[in-house]
Homo-oligomer: A and B are copies of this chain.
Amino acid sequence: MTKEIKVLETCFGGKKIILIAGPCAVESKQEFDADVKDLKKVDCFRGGAYKGRTSPHSFLGLEEEGLQILKEASIKYKKPVVSEITSETQINNFIEMVDIIQVGARNMQNFELLKALGKTNKPILLKRGFANTVDELLNAAEYISKEGNDNIILCERGIRTFENTTRFTLDIGAVAVLKTKSNYPIIVDPSHAAGDSKYVEPLALAAIAAGADGIMIEVHSNPAKALSDKEQALTIKEYNNLIEKIEKIANSIGRTI
Contact = CB atoms under 8 A, between A and B. Distances in A.
The contact size tier of chain A is 35 or more
A169 B166 contact: no
Contacts of A165: 133-135, 173-174, 177, 181
Contacts of A169: 159, 161, 169, 171, 173
Interface in A27-81: 50, 52-57
A131 B161 CA distance: 9
Interface in A153-201: 159-166, 169-177, 179-181, 193-194, 198-199, 201
A203 B199 CA distance: 18
Interface in A95-145: 106-107, 109-113, 115, 129-136, 139, 142-143
A250 B112 CA distance: 39
Given A109-B52, A134-B163, A249 B209 contact: yes
A21 to B, nearest CB: 19
A180 B202 CA distance: 12
A177 B68 CA distance: 39
Contacts of A14: none
19 contacts: A52-B109, A56-B115, A86-B110, A86-B112, A87-B112, A88-B88, A131-B160, A133-B165, A163-B173, A163-B174, A165-B173, A165-B181, A169-B169, A170-B171, A172-B203, A176-B202, A176-B203, A202-B211, A206-B207
Given A206-B206, A206-B210, A210-B206, A163 B159 contact: yes
Interface of A: 50, 52-57, 86-89, 106-107, 109-113, 115, 129-136, 139, 142-143, 146, 159-166, 169-177, 179-181, 193-194, 198-199, 201-203, 205-211, 245, 248-249, 251-253
Given A136-B54, A162-B162, A172 B142 contact: no
Contacts of A176: 194, 198-199, 201-203
Pairs A-B, 10 closest by C-beta atoms: A131-B131, A209-B209, A252-B252, A87-B112, A206-B206, A176-B202, A106-B109, A205-B209, A206-B210, A166-B173
Contacts of A163: 133-134, 159, 171, 173-174
A108 to B, nearest CB: 8
